[in-house]
Structure 1
Amino acid sequence: MIDLDPDKPGGPYSYPMEMPVCQQHLTILQDPETDWACHNFTGHGPEVIIGSDLAELDEWHLTRSMKVGSGAISRRQSKHIPRRYEITLDMKLLGTDEKDSVKFHASAEELREMIDMLKKAAHLDD
């Protein structure tokens, strides 16, 4: 057995995270450098995912590389399409070396709203 959450946050999300695992996986999970996740997406009880199997989660994580451009040089549009900024986020698929980028367009007001939302989210762990 291994407790996957020894530093329980308290409140409704504190529940036993003790998982029965074989000796091989116990050794791997005890290494602080090992990436792992425990989820219950199937409804059949918790499942531990380790290392490259994390790709099954289909989660893309930021690689801290972001670009913002106005698109003013390479794009022309009609007056009815609002001016948008192009934001590019470089991402990495969890559990793999696969990298990609996500591009989206947002107005200045939408960017301000996003900034406010991200500022609030950045303080959730405080």
Structure 2
Amino acid sequence: MALNLVKLCVGVDSVEQLQGWLDRHDGQPTMHTTRMTPKRKDEILAGGSLYWVIKRVIQVRQTVLDLEEFTDSEGIKRCNIWLENKLVRTAPSPRRAFQGWRYLKAEDAPADLTEHAGGEDLPDELRRKLIELGAW
């Protein structure tokens, strides 16, 4: 069973804003650099995703394509997380703030909106309001 990662999407206020950033990459895989390399690489690469926390709520995920450890110009080890350039909306799942990334077991991951009755049909603004009210 695949293992996932969850990470704060710092500086992003909405799924639309993140999508706009992805759109500038013309469908090519995107990369996110982090300081720590996940030790459970094989489990993540077996179909795992990176779940993004936007405004304290998991709202979307991207499939992880590769994890690439490297040492930067200052001699600090880092990890490039290569991601599919496609966002998959998920059922909202509130999260407290944290630093770095966390593992997220498949059974604890929020369902894709296509699996959540009616979720994919809601206008983004209405979905956002429901999240803010804690009604989703």
TM-score of the pair, normalised by structure 1: 0.26
Choose 1 or 2 for highest CA Rg: 1
TM-score of the pair, normalised by structure 2: 0.25
